[in-house]
A and B are shown apart, each in its own frame.
Chain A
Amino acid sequence: MDLPLSKRLVGAILFRSKIRQMSAWGDTDTMHGNIECDFPADFGTRLILERLAQVLDPELDESIVDLGFVRSVRADSGHADVTLQLPTSWCAVNFAYLMAEDARRALLEVEGVQYATIRLGEHCAAREIEAAVNNGRSFAEAFPEEGEGDLAALRQAFLRKGFFIRQERLLCELRVAGCSAPEICALRLGEILIEDDLTTIRQPGAAPRKGGQAATLRRYLQRRAELGLDCRDDAQLIIDLEGKPFSADRVQAHYEVTRTMRVALEANSSFCRALMSLRHLADAAPSRREPEEQETCTVRTDTTSL
């Protein structure tokens, strides 16, 4: 990216992100997906936004763009500047750090971006997290008082949990498609194919049949690969975290467990969405805005349990 300074901040556009309609939310609570963007006219806007959309809230296992956490994106002369707005000013500091760090890494992977700055808006530990993340300092260095601060283990735990939750969606769709437990257990990766937006099950000696959504399979396979699990065509589709397949008599019980794991996880995403909608409401109607959080709230608030 070789843009003269004079072309800085030209052509502000408003990018409406590809937020899927949260129909489950009911009529009055659709998320607002507006991200303010400020780019040079010939800058690869979409590259940045698409790369950011791959950054996940590690706990909710959803894109920070889909969750509405990306408030603004600005870029000029090789410097990208992104402001995240989490649902509350007291969102967990370790998770906030992870998202900020991941977002910065994502930006630096975009061609033409040499510097990246992440801002955290009204978060209670915004200054500490920004100072650490933007200078490449680890969570443990930034928050030495927070014990071992082992974010890698935390991240891994949620990757593993997310694996089962993604698998649950897949199992659910296969059941709806009429697959029996023995059939599900016998399925191999090479026998379930992505065709447009759907999947098709093709097994030797049987007529092809409908599987489920392509996106469900993609998400599952992506996480499976991230965890270093076998993704070859002859590997079984449904496996545990050790890569072992399930027997037909165990897969139902396994499904019942993962089903509950998914519902548990959705509690936090439901809270986040509800609290996020308050923030958007406050932005839309300043008269209804709640008083600002105290500037000094470096809140070690574990207090936010109900």
Chain B
Amino acid sequence: MYRQDGHDIFVIDGHMHCWDANPENWKNKYGESWIRCFFAYHSALSPAEAVWPFEKFCRYGDEALVEDLFRTGYVDMAILNSTYLYEFYNNGFNSHIQNNVVKAKYPERFLLCGSFDPRDEEAGIETFHRMMGEYPIQGLKLYTAEWRNGSRGWRLNDPWAYKYLELAQAAGIKNIHVHKGPTVYPLSADAFDVHDVDYAATDFPELNFIVEHVGLPRLDDFCWIAAQESNVYAGLSVAMAFVHLRPRYFGEIMANLLFWLGPDKLCFGSDYAIWSPKWLIEKFMAFELPDDLKQEYHLDLTLETKRKILGENVARLYGVDIEAQSAKLQRDGIAISE
């Protein structure tokens, strides 16, 4: 809960991880390259006082996470964006199985994402049903750039992806988080592409597609799609991080998102532990859109809009009743007495 001028703002961190990138879990050189890449982003964009030692960054554990999110980071609830990477990490990077450990300890605090990989085709269907049956899966996180047996990725509109989306919908899933972020090693322009979201969003109007990292650097393509499709939402993690180092640029991103999508489709995410919600939220709440941008875009980032971005929009997507949930959270042993 963030308090400003006597107002309580309920915060849902729409994108975070409880990962294991300890060297013992590295399957090959890619396990190391991956976490070092994350660490570079962490070091480059965080305020100096929020930069961790590399060892902690590899594996911070449940208790640090609970502290950083719920005790000092203003977060009330958080969405575990499971990321598997079995080709790089022996036990996975943060699979739903790994993430469920902290979810089981604090069930009211987390929304757990599962996943599917359409390249598993028929063979993956039983695994998918087992995941849905055995874990409290509330959403899906899809990672189209993940490697699998020599394949460099897949698309949301592949026929098998549609089969799995149908299965997910039948199982009661409403929200699909799709990773569309700053891919730094694209060997073709296709690797940047967000257009598959357009097809899936049109063909599955009952599902919501939260595009994580707003397609950066393909923010423009994302905006055209999200402006057109009522069920496409902006996941702000990564974009949020600019609020510290490049606040004006952050303002330009926000102005564009508000211009094309409006205030009801933007969802806060920290991408913890790449960045921590404490400083992200403090700087976001202190941030005001520069006057020239307000005039240029004819809009503003008001307190009301910030409240929507930080919690209300995601709460609506997941059917979280903020008042009832706040009362529950008071009793789970994490709540800070004030």
Q: Tell whether A141 is near chain B: CB-to-CB under 8 Å.
A: no
Given contact pairs A267-B219, A274-B245, A299-B33, A304 touches B43 in the complex (Cβ within 8 A): no
- Given contacts A157-B189, A257-B220, A302-B147, whether A263 and B248 have CB atoms under 8 Å apart is no
Chain B residues near A267 (CB-CB < 8 A):
182, 216-217, 219, 239, 253
- The answer, yes or no, to whether B228 is at the interface (CB within 8 Å) is no
Do B252 and A263 have beta carbons less than 8 Å apart?
A: yes
Determine the residue in chain B with the shortest Cβ distance to A294: B29
Minimum distance in angstroms from B145 CB to a CB of chain A: 5
Q: Is A247 an interface residue (CB 8 A)?
A: no
Residues of A within 8 A of B239 (CB): 267
Which residues of chain B come closer than 8 Å to A24, judged between CB atoms? 246, 248-249
Chain B, 179-225, CB within 8 A of any chain A CB? 179, 181-189, 191, 213, 216-221, 223
Residue B40 lies at the interface, judged by CB distance under 8 Å to chain A: yes
In the bound assembly, the distance between CA atoms of A268 and B181 in angstroms comes to 11
Judge whether A306 is part of the interface by a CB distance below 8 angstroms: yes
Tell me, in angstroms, the Cα distance from A149 to B147 when the chains sit together: 19
Considering only CB atoms, which chain B residue lies closest to A271 in the complex? Answer: B182
Residues on A with C-beta less than 8 A from B274 are 306
Tell whether, in the assembled complex, residue A301 and residue B245 are in contact, meaning their CB atoms are under 8 Å apart. Answer: no
Nearest chain B CB to A68's CB is how many angstroms away?
A: 14
Query: Given contacts A260-B256, A267-B219, are A297 and B29 in contact (CB under 8 A)?
Result: yes
Q: Is the CB of B219 within 8 A of A305?
A: no
Contact partner of B187 (CB less than 8 A), chosen from A92, A257, A266, is A92
Least Cβ distance of B117 to chain A in Å? 15
- Given A263-B252, A270-B249, A275-B44, answer yes or no on A303-B217 (Cβ-Cβ < 8 Å): no
**Contact present for A305 and B187 (CB under 8 Å):** no
> How distant is the Cα of A143 from the Cα of B188 in the complex, in angstroms?
12
Residues of A contacting B29 with CB < 8 Å?
A: 294, 296-297, 299
* A278 CA / B238 CA spacing, docked (Å): 18
Nearest chain B residue, comparing its CB with the CB of A276? B44
Do the beta carbons of B271 and A306 come within 8 Å of each other? yes
Q: How far is the CB of B30 from chain A (nearest CB, A)?
A: 6
B242 contacts the other chain (CB 8 A): yes
Across the interface, do A306 and B34 meet the contact criterion of CB distance under 8 Å? Answer: no
> Is A305 a contact of B182 with CB atoms below 8 Å?
yes
Contact A154 B188, CB 8 Å, known A294-B33, A302-B147, A305-B181? yes
Task: Determine whether the beta carbon of B30 is less than 8 Å from that of A301.
Answer: yes
Q: Nearest residue in B to A139 (C-beta to C-beta)?
A: B187
Taken together as a complex, chains A and B put the C-alpha atoms of A299 and B29 apart, in Å, by 8
Taking Cβ atoms with an 8 Å cutoff, the residues of A that contact B are 24-26, 29, 88, 90-94, 143, 146-150, 153-154, 157, 256-257, 259-261, 263-268, 270-271, 274-275, 277-278, 290-291, 293-294, 296-297, 299-306
Q: Which residues of chain B have a CB within 8 Å of any CB of chain A?
A: 29-30, 32-34, 36-41, 43-45, 54, 85, 88, 145, 147, 152-153, 179, 181-189, 191, 213, 216-221, 223, 237-239, 242, 245-249, 252-253, 256, 259-260, 271, 274
25 contacts between A and B (CB under 8 A): A25-B245, A90-B184, A93-B185, A94-B187, A260-B259, A261-B220, A264-B218, A264-B219, A268-B182, A268-B217, A274-B41, A278-B44, A290-B39, A293-B33, A293-B36, A294-B29, A300-B152, A300-B187, A301-B30, A301-B184, A301-B185, A302-B145, A302-B183, A304-B182, A305-B184
